[in-house]
Amino acid sequence: MASIKMRAKITDGVTTVKVLISHPMDTGLQKDKKTGKKIPAHFIQEVVCKHKDTTVITANWGGAISKNPYLSFKFSGAAAGDMLNISWVDNQGEKDSTEAAIK
Distances (CA, A) of 71 to 3, 27, 34, 89: 13, 19, 32, 15
Q: What is the mean pLDDT of the chain?
A: 95
For residue 1, the model assigns a pLDDT of 56
- For the entire predicted model, the pTM comes to 0.90
At the second CATH level, the architecture of 4-101 is: Sandwich (2.60)
- What residues contact 33, with CB distance under 8 A and at least 6 apart? none
| pLDDT tens-digit readout, 6-51 | 999 999 999 999 999 999 999 999 999 999 999 999 999 999 999 9
